[in-house]
């Protein structure tokens, strides 16, 4: 093997945890595309995050109900409205998730990704009208968490001004697509933009990435 061959990098150099999450999202979406309408309705009814159902469970908590909340906190992040919705999330996850995983490692990336998605879901629960029967699904909360983490990763290089420009641009785009008809063009008819989940996931990613960067320093200073 020549030296050039040894130094050659793969075209799609995606770290493993990000790659597996993206693969799972793609597989789930392909399955929803080939199933029957009745099965698809059952999937969304049982595996999306539904604020009205969550509120009813909190009013009368049971072990199966609490388990349902835990399941849907995770499963809603693998469901998408259509191909455009899925491709947008997967594309952003490949970019920002890869950067987050390379910086913090697979385990910390997965914790940040899923916890950001959970926090995003509960943010929508807090503002949702339980009488509207909202179905929340999509990887956006976790994806925006990796975007927030990327802002912290970029901080040493681009400093506060660059980070604020990055954050402002992302939140501005989020507001634009959430408050204008552009959102319908991106996610299709019959769906809306979960702007609260985006913002909450983004904030969670910033906080967790900041904690990740501080923990090693504190550990060294404790000896």
Residues 15, 18, 22, 24: is their CA dihedral positive or negative?
A: positive
**Could you tell me if residue 79 is inside a domain?**
yes
Flag whether 106 is in a domain. Answer: yes
- CATH number at 106 reads 1.20.1540.10
Mark residue 138 as left, alpha or beta (left: phi above 0; alpha: psi -120 to 50; beta: remaining). left
Q: How far is CA 5 from CA 2, 14, 25, in A?
A: 5, 19, 33
Average pLDDT over the chain, rounded to an integer: 83
Number of domains in the chain: 1
* CA 71 to chain centroid: 16
pLDDT band at 17; cut points 50, 70, 90? very high
Domain assignment of residue 2, yes or no: no
**Which among 202, 15, 223, 2 is positioned nearest to 112, based on CA atoms?**
202
DSSP per-residue letters across 210-222:
HHHHHHHHHHHHT
CA 24 – CA 17 distance, rounded (Å): 11
Please count the CA atoms within 13 angstroms of the CA of 170 that sit on its side-chain side. 23
Over 181-204, what HEC string results?
A: CHHHHHHCCCCCCCHHHHHHHHHH
In a domain, 191, yes or no: yes
Q: pTM for this one?
A: 0.82
Beta bridge partners of 136: 49
Range of the domain at 80: 8-221
3 falls within a domain: no
Listed range (8-12, 62-66, 72-76) with the worst mean pLDDT: 8-12
188 in a structural domain: yes
Confidence grade of residue 177 (pLDDT, cut at 50, 70, 90): low
Residue 1 belongs to some domain of the structure: no
Q: What's the rounded Cα separation, in Å, for the pair 107 and 168?
A: 28
pLDDT at position 196 is: 86
Output Rg (C-alpha) for the chain, integer angstroms: 19
CA–CA separation, 40 and 52 (whole Å): 20
Residue 143: pLDDT above 60? Answer: yes
Q: What are the pLDDT digits (tens) for 21-44?
A: 999 999 999 999 999 999 999 999
């Amino acid at each position: 093997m020549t030296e050039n061959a040894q130094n050659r990098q793969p075209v799609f150099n995606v770290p493993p945890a990000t790659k597996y999450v993206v693969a799972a999202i793609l597989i789930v979406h392909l399955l929803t595309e080939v199933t029957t309408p009745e099965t698809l309705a059952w999937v969304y009814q049982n595996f999306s995050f539904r604020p009205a159902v969550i509120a009813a469970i909190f009013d009368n908590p049971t072990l199966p109900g609490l388990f349902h909340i835990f399941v849907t906190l995770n499963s809603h992040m693998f469901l998408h409205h259509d191909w455009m919705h899925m491709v947008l999330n997967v594309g952003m996850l490949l970019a920002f998730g890869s950067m987050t995983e390379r910086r913090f490692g697979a385990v910390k990336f997965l914790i940040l990704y899923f916890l950001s998605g959970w926090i995003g879901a509960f943010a929508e629960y807090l503002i949702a009208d339980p009488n509207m029967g909202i179905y929340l699904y999509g990887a956006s909360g976790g994806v925006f968490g990796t975007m927030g983490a990327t802002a912290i990763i970029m901080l040493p290089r681009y400093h506060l001004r660059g980070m604020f420009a990055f954050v402002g641009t992302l939140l501005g785009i989020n507001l634009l697509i959430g408050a204008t008809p552009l959102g319908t063009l991106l996610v299709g008819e019959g769906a809306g933009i979960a702007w609260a989940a985006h913002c909450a996931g983004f904030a969670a990613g910033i906080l967790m990435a900041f904690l990740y960067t501080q923990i090693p320093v504190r550990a060294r200073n404790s000896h």
